Amino acid sequence: MVYSLAVLLVEDSEDDALLIINQIKRAGYDVHWKRVETAEELQQALNETGWNVVISDYILPHFSGMEALKIVHKQEPDMPFMIVSGKISDEIAVSAMKAGAHDYILKTNLLRLSAAIERELMEASVRKKTETALQESEEKFKNLVESLPVIIFSISSTGIITSLNYEFERATGWSREEWINKSFFKILHRDDISSVINAIKETGSIKNSLKLVKQELRLLAKSGNYIMVEATSRLQFRKGKVVEILGFARDITEQKKLEEQLMQSQKMEAIGRLASGIAHDFNNVLTAILGNAELLMLHLQAEAYSYQKIKTIHESALHATQLVEQLLTFSRKQVFKPIIFCMNDIISSMSNMFLQILGEDVDYRFCPAENLKFIQADPRQMEQVILNLVVNARDAMPNGGEISIFTMNANAHDINDNISYFPPLPEGEWILIAISDTGKGIPTEILGRIYEPFFTTKIKGTGLGLSIVYGIVKQLGGDIYVNSEIGKGTTFTIFLPAAREGIEKDASDNLFRATETCIGTETILVIEDNNDVLELIKNILEPLGYKLLLASHSIEAIAELQKHNCKPDLLLADIVLPGKAGPEIAQEIKNHFPDLKVLFMTGYTDERIAVYEYFNVDAPIILKPFDSQTLASKIREILDN
C-alpha cells in the first residue's frame, strides 16, 4: 500500500533535496513536497495546512536549522522536525535534541530517514490520540495509555496520586498499587519539590487552564536510586478551582547519562591537554638532569661521596619520570608499546599477587572466557588497569567479601541490542572485562566524579587511580562503565576493541638495537630549543667523535649549514620547535640533501602524527627523557642502516 506524505524541506541545495525525496519515495510513500530556503518562506509554507513532517539542513546560507526549529515549534509544537546534515558533531546533535528536534541524520546515511519518519509519524499520532483521549473521557484515556511508552499520571489538588499506567512500573520498579493514594511528594526528590509547587502556583488560575508545564524531575525507584523524567502536565479546573493535575512523563535517565558522559569527556580532555603540556616541558628538564648526572657518574669512582649524591639525584629523576608517565597516561598521551596478547593470560599471571594483597577475608575468582579474542595494547598498562580496579574493590570491602573478574567476547551488535544501560558501541568485535565486588557501593552523588584526577574518598589516596584507568582505556579506543548499588557492590565493565585478524606484533621495539660501538665521525645537525638539552647532546656526542652543528630553530639551522658548507649525515631534531616544527624543517633540508637521515625527539605520542603527516612513514623517534647510551645507540643504528 502506498501512503501519501507531505514533506516541508528547509534546504538550500536542490540536488540534496531531490536525494532526500527519492529516498523517502523508495520507502513506499507518495510524496508531496516543497522546498524553502529562508525564514520568510518557511513561515509562509507553515500557513499552508497538511504538512506531516519538516526536514531541515543544519547550516543554511540565510539562517540555521536551529532557527527553523524555533519557527516550526512556535506555530506547530507537535510537528515532527528532523535535521538532515552533511556533518554534525555529537555536541550539536545533543543540543538540537534538547531544543526539540526529533532526530538527526547524516546525509551519508539517508537509509535511516524513512524509518525515522515512520517512527515520528507514529509517535506524533500517539501524542495526538492521547490529547484527544484526555478531553473525551477518563475511561478512554486509561484504556489508551496503558500501552504507551511514557508514564501517564493524574494527581489530586492535594498532591495525592490517583492514577498511573504500566510504564510507571517498568521505569521505577514499583507496582502501581504501592503508590496509588500516596503523596506524590514522597516519591519526588526533595530538591525538586519547590520547583513543582512554584509551577503549580504560576499556572494555578482559570486563565492558564490550557497551559502545559514541562519540567525535569527525579523520581525514587524501588532500587533506591532516582530516575530522571521529563514531565509535561496540565491543571484541571472545576468551578474555577484546581481539582487535578494530568500529564505524562518520559524516562530520560539514559539521555542524561549520555549528556553527563559528554561533559565528563570534555572536562577530562581539557585537563588532559594541561597535563600533557606540563609533562612535555618537564621531560626536557628530566632529560638534562638524567643525562648530566649520568655523565658526572662516569667520571667518578663508585665509592666517592660525590658519586653517591649524584646517584641519588639520578634515582630521584628516574622516579620523577614515573610521575610524568602517570600524567601522560591520564591525558591519554603516554608513549606505549603495544603488542598482541590475550587478557586471560595477563589476569591469570596476576592471580597469585591478588591472593596476597586481598587477604584471607576476600574470596577471589576469575572466570575467563574460552577463545577470548586478542587485543593490541601495552601489557604493563593493562596490568595497571586491572590492579587499580582490584585494589579499589578491596578497599570497598573493609569487612571482607568477594571479588570476581569475568572476560568474554562481545559483538557490538549483540551488546547494543541486549544491554540497554550501556551507550551504543561502534560496530566491530570487542572483548569485555568485568570486575565486581560485594562492597559498600559508590554513592550516587559522587559517581560522576570518580574519574576526576585527584578526587578521592580515601584518607591516604592520591586520586589518580581511576583517572589513569580511564585514560588508558580511552587511549586504546575502548570505554569503561560503572554500575553500583549502595550495600550491594560495584561492577566496572571495560570494553576494548579486539585486534584485527592477521595483524602482527609491532617490531618497532627492535628498531634501535645497541651496536658494539657508538663511536662515529659523521656530521650531525642538532635542532633543539631547550639549551640544557642541547648542551647535554653536545656533551654526549662530541666525545664519541661526531662533528656537531647546533641550532635552536630553523633559521639558525640553515645558517649553520651555510657557515660550515658541509653535507650533514643525520638530522637530530625536536618535533616541537619555535616557528617551524621539526618535521617541516626536516622536509626542507631533505629537499637539498635527499640522503639525509632523520631522528626526532619527543615526549608523547601525539607528536608522532606530525611526523607521519610530513613523511607518510613512521620516522625514527627517541623519547624524552633519554640517557647517553640510548641516544648514542640509536644514532649509530640509523647511520649504519
The per-residue pLDDT for 292 is 86
The per-residue pLDDT for 183 is 92
The per-residue pLDDT for 88 is 74
Q: Are 522 and 639 in contact (CB under 8 A)?
A: yes
Query: Is 53 exposed, middle or buried, given 0-12, 13-18 or 19+ CB atoms closer than 10 A?
Result: buried
Cell reading at 544: 664519541
Buried b (16+ CB within 10 A) or exposed e, 475-506: bbebbbbebbeeeebbbbbbbbbbbeeeeeee
The per-residue pLDDT for 361 is 87
Q: Find residue 251's DSSP bridge partners.
A: 229
The CA-to-CA distance between both ends of the chain, in Å, stands at: 72
**Residue indicated by cell numbers 523524567:** 229
Q: Give the Cβ contact number of residue 458 at 10 Å.
A: 10
Phi first, then psi, for residue 619 (nearest 5°) are -70, 150
pLDDT tens-digit profile of 190-232?
889 888 888 888 776 656 666 788 899 999 999 888 999 999 9
Torsion angle of C-alpha atoms 342, 343, 344, 346, degrees rounded to 10: 100
3-state secondary structure of 280: helix
Query: Is 1 exposed, middle or buried, given 0-12, 13-18 or 19+ CB atoms closer than 10 A?
Result: exposed
**Strand pairing report for 29-36 and 53-56:** unpaired
| One-letter amino acid for residue 628 of the chain | S
Q: Are 432 and 422 in contact (CB under 8 A)?
A: no
3-state secondary structure of 594: coil
What span, in angstroms and rounded, lies between the C-alpha atoms of 316 and 514?
26
The per-residue pLDDT for 407 is 94
Phi first, then psi, for residue 411 (nearest 5°) are -95, 130
Phi first, then psi, for residue 144 (nearest 5°) are -75, -45
pLDDT tens-digit profile of 105-144?
888 888 888 888 888 888 878 877 777 766 666 666 566 7
What span, in angstroms and rounded, lies between the C-alpha atoms of 68 and 56?
7
Residue-range domains of the chain with CATH: 3-113 (3.40.50.2300), 137-251 (3.30.450.20), 256-330 (1.10.287), 339-497 (3.30.565.10), 508-640 (3.40.50.2300)
Report residues of the chain scoring pLDDT below 70.
Answer: 1-2, 133-143, 145, 204-210, 261, 264-280, 319, 322-337, 414-424, 453-464, 501-517, 604-618
